[in-house]
Amino acid sequence: MDRFQEGTNVAASGAATGDQPPVKSKKKLVIIILAVVVLLVAAAGAFLVLNQRKNEADEDAKAAVVVVPTFLPLENLVVNLSDPGGDRFIQLGITLELRDEKVAEQVKQYMPSIRDAILRLVSQHTAEDLLGREGKEQLALAIRKEVARPLTGETRRSRVQDDEDGFEDDAPRRKPAEPVRRVLFSSFIIQ
């Protein structure tokens, strides 16, 4: 009888185990859903990280495209200043920061007229005008415009006519990239 009771107990436990497989299938379903959610979160995280790295690589590529400026030193200039008595002069060492090598070649072609324009421009100033920082900055800006003039095709006459005719304000023009980025003084001696 012990065996009979064991068989009944086994049958009773089998009936109890018949209830458990549905519980296990619910647990499996929950585990599968959690695994899918974890995989989706991991995939989204990986996408964001890779996308950020791609953006950084694009920015690095854009930074690598930046054109290195070309520097063109001019011969030193000695110019009489327009001080009373005419006994003051300036020795200038100028280096031009240009957009690229092509512009440097153009500047070299126009060098005699550029040097003449700079000499005339500087000779209009007094020592007092040029001793302060503001005077030097204004001179650098004026030299920059004089150097760019033959490169952009602008003449003093055409600029005056545009101002008188009023055409400059009427028609918006696309501003070309500046051929001369900066004027740097390598020496600036007033005596």
> Of the candidates 183, 185, 190, which has an alpha carbon nearest to the alpha carbon of residue 126?
190
Lowest model confidence (mean pLDDT) among 50-64, 68-82, 114-128: 50-64
Cα 147 to Cα 142: distance, rounded to the nearest angstrom: 9
pTM: 0.57
Check if the beta carbon of residue 145 is closer than 8 Å to that of residue 159.
no
Question: In the CATH hierarchy, which fold is given to the domain comprising 70-190?
Answer: Tetrahydropterin Synthase; Chain A (3.30.479)
**Residue 134: exposure state from Cβ atoms within 10 A (0-12, 13-18, ≥19):** exposed
> Of the candidates 70, 182, 67, 88, which has an alpha carbon nearest to the alpha carbon of residue 136?
182
Q: What is the pLDDT of residues 8-35, one digit of tens each?
A: 554 445 444 555 555 567 888 888 888 8
Question: Where in the chain are the domains?
Answer: 1-66, 70-190
Q: What is the pLDDT of residues 132-143, one digit of tens each?
A: 999 999 999 999
Cα 127 to Cα 106: distance, rounded to the nearest angstrom: 32
